[in-house]
Structures are given as structure tokens and as C-alpha cells.
Structure 1
Amino acid sequence: MDGASIIERLMTTEGRFDPYPLYARAHELGAATPAGPAAVLVAGHAAANQVLRNPAFAVEDTRTLTADNADLLVHPSVVLLGHSVLQRNAPDHGRVRSLVASAFNARRVAALRPAIETTVARLLDELDDRGADGSPVDFMDAFAFRLPVEVICELLGVPAADRHRFRGLASDLTIALELVQDLGELAVADAAAAELEAYFAELVAERLARPTGDLVSDLARIAADSPDRISGEELLGNLVLLLVAGFETTTNLLGNGLTLLFRHPAAAEGLRTGGLDPSLFTDEVLRYDSPVQLTSRISTAPDLTVAGLPTPSGTVVLVMLGAANRDPARYTRPDRFDPTRTDSQPLSFGGGSHFCLGSQLARLEADIAVPALLDRFPRLAPAGIPVRRDRLVLRGYESLPVATR
């Protein structure tokens, strides 16, 4: 099996459900391996880190994405995400990122702890009520989605009455981030993009008329007064990105983590009693079953190499984050879940200039929520068959039924 075959298999339902045997095969081929014409698959931890931190490996922006397929420009999901920092390179990336980065600095994130603890306590009360009669409760819907969406919406300034509507819309929009083989698959993402863009356009207009001191109010005023710092299109694209990225990764982190705790009761007991550091547990979940499995870059210089493999200009570099996190050259027994590891450096949040702005917030939410969940429900147990989302890039559960008693 060569690199191209591995990618082909990863794009099947079976490959997406359990990509790790395919990652193991990729490691046998080397830290980096060809994956078809003008494409390279990167599975090694050091090689992936190199690519993520080297600005000569650019993200695929709207220009490069549509160079060979102008039809992509008719898809609102592609256009909307193309205005976000996720798909922008220097200098536009730094210009816009700097406007929102202060909302996610260490001091401001740490200051959110009391609010997160309060939200966790309230959601656990509601989870308790829903499972009081012994019936199964969907952990993803009742807790894993609601915690991070309430936190990010509070930060942005999205009204509480609107927050319930975002899970489905975000799930639909993120289809545009997958390795789509048929552009017809983007129809659902396009509809979600149109609805989310319209929602934030209305919210921006409202905040311009009546500012409330939240992030939407601040960014809306900057866009109105200084469009050279952030345009109207960039404003909407990045507000949608902040919303979606603000809970998608954390939702999957919580669901993947709880599933691992069901398989490893000693870890659950350690978190419950304080014998296990929650931050080590979070790191190991990120490493072992990353909520983000893949990202891509494109080579912009003729003499670039990855792990000794030439990647001339125009080469698409598929960075397999999930594989890099299980690189046997980096980790002892990489396929073993071990939340006592002290040397984890998961690449789940990326690296370099595109390192995830909300990484500290996601970690804090998990560090607070998981021990509190286990303490509140010492008999928490699976109550049915969990359903995986049929995705490669964003790995998580659609549903995870649990019993609280």
C-alpha cells in the first residue's frame, strides 16, 4: 500500500471509522511519502511539526483552491471560509488574526474559569434531571455540545436564545473542510454557510446600533470604522469560524475523552479522586484520538523538502495530525492510551502561525468538565452503542448514550 492508496482508503467509511491501522502503514513507509502526482503524505511527528511551522508551506487559500477548479467559487461555503483566517496567508492572516487574538490570551482565558465552572455545574444539574429515571441520555447533545457552545457564544456575544440552532449548522458547514470528492456534497455546507452568514450579518448590524462590549460589537465597530483592518466579508467569515471552531473541537474532545474513560476505568477513578492530573488526561486524549485528524499545506518554494522528500512549488502536503500523534519515532508504545505520559506534544491544534487560537480555552473546558462529570456521576456508564460521525478531518461522535445512575 502506497501513500495514494492510504489516502484513498481513508476516504472510505471504514477508513474514517478507524484510521489508525492506515496510519501505522504510513509510518512503515516513512515520515513522509508520495501520495500521487504533486502530493505528499506526512505521518511523522517531527516532519509534521516542520511543515506546520514553516511559512513557506502555505495554507490552501481561495486562490490556490480554485486555480484548477473555478467551479468552487460558486459554493458559498468555500467563499465564506476563504474569508477566514483558516484559509488566509500572510499578510492578510496576521492582519486579521491580531484583531481577535487578544480575546484568547492566557489571562483572559484564565479569567473565564469561574464562568466555565458555573456553566458545567448547571449542565450537570440538567443532565442529572434528564437521566433521573434511569433512561439513557445522549452525552453529546446534553453536555459535550452545550458546554463549549455556551462559552464561545458568551465570548462572542451571541444571545442565549439562539445557541440551540448551531450544532446542526456547524456540522453541515464543516463538510467543506473534508476531502470532498464530489462537489455536490457541498450543497448542505452551502446552505449552512448562507444561514450562518445571514445570522451574523443581522447580529453585526444590531451590535453597531446597540454595542454591548462583546467581541462581535468590538469587531463590528473596527470593520465599520477601519475596513482596511478587517473588511465586512472578513468580519462575517471570521465570526462564523470563531463560532464553529469554538465548539467543534471541544465537543469532540469531550466525547472522545469520555469514551476512553469507559474503556479505562482506572483513569476515571484517578480523575475522580484527584490522583490523575486532568491536563495530562486532556493531552493524552488529544494525542491518542485527536478531534482534528488532518490539515493541508501547499509548497510555495522550489527547493523545499519534508523528511528528505522534495516538495517543489505547488506540491500539496497532507499533514496527518492523527498519525503524527502516534508516531513510534516520537512516542513509546504510541497505540497505548496512557494518561500519565508527561512528554506529550500533540499536534491536534496545529502549529506555527496557524496554531489554534482557542487551544487554551478548549483545554481549560475539558480540564474543568471531565473531573466534575465523574465526581457528580460515579456510576456513569455507556447505555447504548455510540455513533461516530462519518468524517475524517473532524473526528468525533454524533451520539454517545450514557446512564447517569
Structure 2
Amino acid sequence: MDGAAIIEQLMTTEVRTDPYPLYARAHELGPVVPAGDGMFVVSGYAAVNKVLRTSAFGVATADMMAGLAPEFTEHSSLALFGRSILQRNAPDQPRVRSLIASVFTARRVAALRPAVEAAVGRLLDGMAEQGADGSPVDFMDAFAFRLPVGVICELLGVPERDRYRFRGLASDLTVALEIIQDLDDLDEADRAADELSGYFAELVAERLARPQDDLVSDLARIAAADGGRLSAEELLANLVLLLVAGFETTTNLLGNGLALLFRHPEVAAGLRSGAVTPAGFTEEVLRFDSPVQATARVALEDGLSIEGLPVPADSGVTLLIGAANHDPARYDRPGVFDPTRTDSQPLSFGGGQHFCLGSQLARLEGEVAMPALLDRFPRLAPGGVPTRRDRLVLRGFETLPVTVR
């Protein structure tokens, strides 16, 4: 096996369902291996961490991709992400990121705890009512999606009546973040991008006319005052990104976490008794079954190397975050789910200039939600066969039926 074979196998449904055996084989090859055609695959924790934090390894921008494939510009989903901070390098990325960070503050997130706790209570009430007769409840739809979408929409200022339309749109749109073999597969992603952009264009216009205490109002005001700081196109692209990133990864964190609790009832007992801390549990879920499994970088200059292996300019680098979080050189017994680890530091939220702005919010929601779920439903149990989404980059469940009784 070589790097090219690793990438090829990552494209199969079998490996996407359970990528961890492949990651173990990747570690046997070394922390970084060539994959042919100017590509490299990085699976070692230290190597992935270094690349994430080295600005000379940037993201593939829309201009870069259009140079390789002119049809790239024909897809609104790719163009939308290309205008967001997710796929921009300096100087544009730090310029826009700093504006978002100025309104998406740690203090603002921390102040959300009472609202998160109240939302958790309401959703648990709903699950109790839905499953009172013993029938299965889909945890993903009834709770794992509704909690984070409600929270991020509250921050953004999205009216409550609109919030639950976004799950399908986000699912369609995020296909554009996967490893794409055929751009013709992006039709639904393009439609989702158009609908979400149109939605936020209308909401921005409303907030400019009648400002409120929310992120859309704050960012719309900045864009209206100085398009050089934040253009109208950048505003819409990043509002869509904040919405989708604000609940996609947290939804998967909650679903992956509950599935692990079913596999490890001793951990559930530890959470109930206090022997396992909510923070320790959340960090171990992020490490053991990361909601984000992979990302990519491009060498922006000559003279770069990873673990002593030269990486020429314009080389593509696939970073296997899920593999890095299971690196035996970094973690003792990496294949064991152990929420009592004291020095975990998973790479699930990235690192460097692209570190996830919503990491604190995702951790808050996970730490509040899972203990409350177990406390409310002492007999919580699997209610059927779960289904996983056939995705690599964003790993999670489509359905996770439970009984609450």
C-alpha cells in the first residue's frame, strides 16, 4: 500500500463507514507518504498539527481550482465556499476572519449557556413525548440537529420559523466539501448554495433596515459601511458558512457521542455518577470519532518539508485528522475509548489560521447535552439499526433510533 492507494480506498463506502483500520495501515507507512502526481498523505499527529499551523501550507483557493478545472467556476456551491474564510488565504482570510471574530466572541458564546440548557430541556421534553409509547425516536432529527441549529440561528438572528428547513440544505451543500471525483455530482449542492445565499440576502436587507442584537446585523453593518473590509459577496458566503459549520459538526459530535455511549455503558454510568467529566467525554469523542475526518492544504512556496520529506510548491497535501487522532506515536492505546485521558488535544477543530471559530460553542453544547440526556432517560437504549452518512470529511449518522421509555 502507498499514499495513492490510501486515497483510493478512502473513496469507498466500506472505508468511509469505518476508516480506522485503514488509518492503522497508514501509520505503518509513516507519518507522511507520497501519493503520486504531486500529492502527499499525512496521517501522523505531529505532522498534521505542524501543517495546520504553518501558513506556507495554505488552502486551495477558488482561483487555484479554476486554473486546474475551468468548470469549477460553473458551480455555485464551490464558488460560495471559495468566497468564505474556509477557502481563502492571506491577506483575505485573516481580514475577514478578524471581522467575524470581533462579533463571534468568546464572551458572547459563554453567555449562551443558560439558553443552551433551556433548549436541551425543551428538546428532551419533545423526545419524551414522542417516545412515550415505546416507539423509536430518531435522535439525530429530534435532538442532535435541532439543538445546534437552534443555537447558531439564535446567534445569527435567523427567525425560529425558518430554522428547521436547513438540515437538508446543509446536507446537500456540504457534498462540495468532500473529495469530489465528478463535478456533475454537485447539482443538489449548487441548488442548496443558491437557496441559502438568497435567504441570507433577504435577511441582510431586513437587518440593515431594522438592526437587532445578532451577528447578521453586526456583519451587515460592517459590509454596508466599508465594502473594502467586507464585500457583499463575502458577507453572504460567510453567513452561510457560519450557519452550516455551526450545526453540522456539532450534530455529528452528539450523534457519534451517543453511539459510543451505547457501545460503552460503563462510560454512560461514569457520566451519570460524575466519575467521567462532561468535558473529558466530549474531548474523547472528538478524538476517537471526529466529526471532521480530513482536510487539505497546498504548498504555497518552495523549500517546504513534512517530517523531513521535501514537499515542492503547488503540491497537494491530504491531512487525515481522524488518523492523527489515532496516532500511536501520540496516544497510548489510541483504539481504546477512554474519556479519562488527561492530555488529549484532538485536532478535530483544525489549527492555525483556520482553527474553527465555533469550537468553544460546540464543546459547550456537547458538555451540556450529553449528561442531561442520560439524566432524563435512565433507560435510554438503541431503538433500531442506525444509518451513517456516506461521507468522509464530515463523519456522522443520518439516523440514530433510540427508545426513551
TM-score, L = length of structure 2 = 0.99
Which residue is 2:144 aligned to? 144
Which residue is 1:185 aligned to? 185
Quick one: which amino acid aligns to residue 304 of structure 1?
L
Quick one: which amino acid aligns to residue 210 of structure 1?
R
TM-fit CA distance, 1:300: 1.1
Which residue is 1:238 aligned to? 238
Which residue is 1:195 aligned to? 195
Quick one: which amino acid aligns to residue 219 of structure 1?
L
Contact 1:252 1:291 in 2 (8 A): yes
Deviates further, 39-48 or 212-221: 212-221
- Give me the whole-angstrom Cα distance separating, in 2, the residues matched to 1:109 and 1:301: 37
Which residue is 2:44 aligned to? 44
Quick one: which amino acid aligns to residue 290 of structure 2?
S
Which residue is 2:12 aligned to? 12
Which residue is 1:220 aligned to? 220
- Give me the whole-angstrom Cα distance separating, in 2, the residues matched to 1:375 and 1:272: 7
Which residue is 2:359 aligned to? 359
Which residue is 2:175 aligned to? 175
Cα displacement string for residues 212-262 of structure 1 (whole angstroms, at most 9, x for unaligned residues): 121101111111111011000000000000000000000000000000000
- Give me the whole-angstrom Cα distance separating, in 2, the residues matched to 1:205 and 1:108: 24
TM-fit CA distance, 1:143: 0.1
Contact 1:301 1:313 in 2 (8 A): yes
Contact 2:104 2:215 in 1 (8 A): no
- Give me the whole-angstrom Cα distance separating, in 2, the residues matched to 1:222 and 1:123: 35
Partner SS for 1:391: coil
Quick one: which amino acid aligns to residue 365 of structure 2?
E
Which residue is 1:382 aligned to? 382
- Note the 1:4-403 alignment, pairs <5 A: 4-403=4-403
Quick one: which amino acid aligns to residue 278 of structure 1?
P
- Give me the whole-angstrom Cα distance separating, in 2, the residues matched to 1:29 and 1:67: 32
Contact 1:261 1:267 in 2 (8 A): yes
Contact 1:104 1:361 in 2 (8 A): no
Cα displacement string for residues 253-277 of structure 1 (whole angstroms, at most 9, x for unaligned residues): 0000000000101110111122211
Which residue is 2:2 aligned to? 2
Contact 2:223 2:229 in 1 (8 A): yes
TM-fit CA distance, 1:67: 1.5
1:103–1:221 Cα change, 3 Å? closer
**Runs of 5+ unmatched residues, structure 2:** none
Partner SS for 1:35: strand
- Give me the whole-angstrom Cα distance separating, in 1, the residues matched to 2:52 and 2:239: 24
Contact 2:204 2:217 in 1 (8 A): yes
1:103–1:375 Cα change, 3 Å? farther
Contact 2:103 2:218 in 1 (8 A): no
Cα displacement string for residues 106-148 of structure 1 (whole angstroms, at most 9, x for unaligned residues): 3222111111001101111111100111000000000000000
Quick one: which amino acid aligns to residue 33 of structure 1?
V
Aligned positions, number: 405
Quick one: which amino acid aligns to residue 376 of structure 1?
R
- Give me the whole-angstrom Cα distance separating, in 1, the residues matched to 2:152 and 2:107: 16
- Give me the whole-angstrom Cα distance separating, in 1, the residues matched to 2:186 and 2:371: 38
- Give me the whole-angstrom Cα distance separating, in 2, the residues matched to 1:50 and 1:124: 41
TM-fit CA distance, 1:353: 0.6
Deviates further, 95-104 or 128-137: 95-104
1:104–1:212 Cα change, 3 Å? closer
TM-fit CA distance, 1:65: 1.6
Deviates further, 378-387 or 220-229: 220-229
Quick one: which amino acid aligns to residue 137 of structure 2?
V
- Give me the whole-angstrom Cα distance separating, in 2, the residues matched to 1:229 and 1:304: 32
- Give me the whole-angstrom Cα distance separating, in 1, the residues matched to 2:145 and 2:238: 20
- Give me the whole-angstrom Cα distance separating, in 1, the residues matched to 2:350 and 2:321: 8
Contact 2:57 2:299 in 1 (8 A): yes
**Runs of 5+ unmatched residues, structure 1:** none
TM-fit CA distance, 1:28: 0.4
- Give me the whole-angstrom Cα distance separating, in 2, the residues matched to 1:75 and 1:105: 33
Contact 1:294 1:392 in 2 (8 A): yes
- Give me the whole-angstrom Cα distance separating, in 1, the residues matched to 2:256 and 2:157: 28
- Give me the whole-angstrom Cα distance separating, in 2, the residues matched to 1:103 and 1:334: 37
Percent sequence identity over aligned pairs = 69
Partner SS for 1:378: coil
Partner SS for 2:41: strand
Quick one: which amino acid aligns to residue 179 of structure 2?
L
Cα displacement string for residues 69-120 of structure 1 (whole angstroms, at most 9, x for unaligned residues): 0100000001111110000111111111111113443322211111100110
Partner SS for 2:297: strand
Deviates further, 252-261 or 216-225: 216-225
Quick one: which amino acid aligns to residue 253 of structure 1?
L
- Give me the whole-angstrom Cα distance separating, in 2, the residues matched to 1:200 and 1:43: 38
Partner SS for 2:229: coil
Contact 1:291 1:348 in 2 (8 A): yes
- Give me the whole-angstrom Cα distance separating, in 2, the residues matched to 1:21 and 1:203: 46
Task: Report the RMSD for the aligned CA atoms in angstroms.
Answer: 0.7
List structure 1 runs of 4+ shifted beyond 6 angstroms: none
